[in-house]
Amino acid sequence: MPVKNSRQKKQGLQRRKGVRKNAAPARKPSKKTAKRKSTAVRPASRTARRTRLLRAVRAAARRAHPDRPLPHRLERHEGNPVIEPREGNYWEMKATFNPGAIYADHRVHLLYRAIGGDDVSVLGYASAKDGVSFVERLDHPAYVPVTTKTAVPAEEQIPLEPAYFSGGGWNGGCEDPRLTLIDGKVYLTYTAFDGWGSIRIALSSIELEDFLNKEWKWSRPALISPPGEIHKNWTIFPEKINGKFAVLHGIVPRVLVEYRDSLDFGDGEIIKSERPSNDAVKPVRGVWDTYVRGVGPPPLKTKDGWLVLYHAMDALDPGRYKLGAMLLDLNDPTKVIYRSRSPILEPDFAYENQGYKSGVVYACGAVIVDDELYVYYGGADTVTCVAMANVEKFLHELKTYAAPRLSAEGKTTEKKTNGRR
């Protein structure tokens, strides 16, 4: 076989690469051509394709079986929304949503976040004997954030310096109230601006008798979360645990409970907490709550454990706040016993998508009355709605279709239920 010289080797290599002999060198693309190529539409990412596919599958399943109930789901009240803004009241003319709730004196009592013409968030009052028909509703706020050191009527209270806004309230105030009734006193936690550029948790209280008589003698609010940090979604257990008050101030990456002999806070006294970023919240394989946002209403005591509802989002269905459920151990609520495999409520109705923030169901209040669970939530950061479920059935389905549970250390373990995992 004849030996090829270097020139022959080079020509053979060019032929294999598709280069013709004596061919002109390739020209560089012009700037216009390069720009046109750089702005060409790229194929959709894998996450975007999965998102579209997931939505299409869910929509097809709903169309194929529109009457088939999903496990551990809440049923919306057909008269939703139950509280809407009133143009005649300046302080609540824009939005009325995210209510806290207690059950006392055979009535459900709500304090809801209201936004008026000044874009300041205050709290309005409404009540219903049947839990859904809120015919009793005041024409003035029940609570306005104060800077005074003594309890004064709501009409005389001085608003905090506005600086933080969310949910449509551009001038700050008190947001997302949670109510807890313990030993004849109503405790109120809410999100407040402390005047120095951070979002903090405020705590106030009122005697139940004054609350029922609508004599709004609130105590001076105490800022109980650390300064310089953003904290939301703190709440209080409705009874003492092992003889102490219990404040639930986090559920990811682990459940955080602060035990105290008293809920009276001195000047500068705070509860140190953790606020993980989204990067710190690890998704659990096979479940929907990729990003857990925080606790919803105060925990509800059941025979199976503390029922905690929480807000979360799905990475495969981004931009939509959904509601989930978990059961905590009665004696040690840092232990998660069960957690819902799917959302118990999703923003699918018009009143949950038409408002200040589309795609939001945000619950701050819940009560159990005669074996019926009532969950009060804000729709689209604009109106107040209610959804219900039979407690026994709800808990049974939650335990049967539970997802892998989270331990107190934040590690994932699996719990078998009726042969399922």
CA-to-CA distance for 1 and 4, rounded, in angstroms? Answer: 9
Compare 38 and 421 and report the one with higher pLDDT.
38
What does pLDDT average to over the chain?
81
At residue 378, the pLDDT reads: 98
Q: Say which range, 89-103, 147-161, 314-328, 372-386, has the weakest mean pLDDT.
A: 147-161
Tell me the average pLDDT across 271-295. 72
Q: What is the pLDDT of residues 108-124, one digit of tens each?
A: 999 999 999 998 899 99
Tell me the average pLDDT across 185-199. 79
Q: What is the pLDDT of residues 58-110, one digit of tens each?
A: 566 556 655 555 567 899 999 999 999 999 999 999 999 999 999 999 999 99
At residue 285, the pLDDT reads: 58
At residue 156, the pLDDT reads: 46
For the question of whether the overall pTM of this predicted structure is more than 0.95, the answer is no
Confidence of residue 167 (pLDDT cuts 50, 70, 90): low
Q: Name all domains of the chain by residue range, CATH numbers in brackets.
A: 75-266+278-413 (2.115.10.20)
Cβ-contact 373, 391 below 8 angstroms:
yes
- Give the number of C-alpha atoms closer than 13 A to the C-alpha of residue 249, restricted to the C-beta side: 24
Confidence of residue 163 (pLDDT cuts 50, 70, 90): very low
Determine whether 44 is exposed, middle or buried from the number of CB atoms within 10 Å of its CB (0-12, 13-18, 19+): exposed
At residue 306, the pLDDT reads: 98
At residue 317, the pLDDT reads: 84
At residue 409, the pLDDT reads: 36
Backbone φ and ψ of 156, nearest 5°: -105, 0
Residue 79 CA, chain-centre distance (Å), reads 23
CA-to-CA distance for 323 and 297, rounded, in angstroms? Answer: 11
- Pairing between β-strand 121-128 and β-strand 199-207 as defined by DSSP bridges: unpaired
Tell me the average pLDDT across 369-377. 97
Residue 12 has pLDDT above 80, yes or no: no
Q: What is the pLDDT of residues 194-203, one digit of tens each?
A: 444 568 999 9
Q: What is the pLDDT of residues 130-160, one digit of tens each?
A: 999 999 999 999 999 864 333 444 544 444 3
Nearest to 365 by CA among 127, 135, 143, 183: 127
At residue 350, the pLDDT reads: 96
Compare 257 and 313 and report the one with higher pLDDT.
257
